[in-house]
Amino acid sequence: MEGLTHDLGGAYSAVLVYIGDKLGLYKAMNDAGKPITSHELAALTKTSERNVREWLANQAAGGYVAYNAETQKYWLPQENALALVDENSPVFAIGAFQSTMSFFKDASKIIEAFGTGRGLPWGEHDSDLFVGTERFFKPNYNYNLVSSWLPSLNNGKVQEKLEKDGALVADVGCGHGVSTIIMAKAYPNSKFIGFDNHQASIERARELA
């Protein structure tokens, strides 16, 4: 029961983290730059104070935001903002919550797949999966792909090939093309082609490119 209760608390909070991102609650708290009340946050985000108050209570209990009982004000610590607001931060994690939401939305499709054994193709998932995946993995790609991951392959020979001689690279399952574009910018002597069987992802990748 302890394990189940822990999982349930996480599941409930995950939905509220998703809502906080969608409604711009975290961003508004971060932009405020000071502790604020539930009334002030509701006014900043044009949302219902009663609902914002409940949201803040959950977030404070979970440690996502801080709370001062004397002033009844909440604030978003800078360290937390790195994970919840700053999309350029290497620890930005909101995309993971957005991706997770797609599994709940796709539950009926997954249940059907259990019966048929057909599986659920990537492109048939809710769009939160595609957008969330881009948002979640992009910071890691930005900070690690060129600086450490590629240089570690084959004692640096892969990086040398990309930099000097030029290579023709296939990024298979490129999704929104974030990794493809990062590599293309870093290694102009090489050519990178992204492949994906999900048309909407390819269209998004073309926009980014």
pLDDT in tens, 176-208: 999 999 999 999 999 999 999 999 999 999 999
Residues forming CATH 1.10.10.10 domain(s) in the chain: 2-84
Angle between helical axes of 38-45 and 49-62 (0-180°, round to 10): 120
User: Hey, CA dihedral for 43, 49, 55, 58, is it positive or negative?
Assistant: positive
Query: Region 6-18: what's the mean pLDDT?
Result: 93
Taking the C-alpha atoms of residue 54 and residue 120, their distance in angstroms, rounded to an integer, is 36
Query: Region 120-141: what's the mean pLDDT?
Result: 94
Q: How far is CA 108 from the centre of its chain?
A: 23
- CA-to-CA separations, 103 to 109, 122, 163, in angstroms, rounded: 9, 12, 40
Q: pLDDT > 90: what percent of the chain?
A: 97
161 close to 154: Cβ distance less than 8 angstroms:
no
CA nearest neighbour of 192 among 160, 159, 167, 157: 167
Instruction: Name the CATH code of domain 2-84 (choices 3.30.70.240, 2.30.110.10, 1.10.10.10, 1.10.3470.10).
Output: 1.10.10.10
| Mean pLDDT computed over every residue of the chain | 95
Residue 99 has pLDDT above 90, yes or no: yes
Tell me the whole-structure pTM to 2 decimals.
0.87
Residue 165 has pLDDT above 90, yes or no: no
Q: Any idea what DSSP says for residue 122?
A: G
Under the banding of pLDDT at 50, 70 and 90, the label for residue 21 is: very high
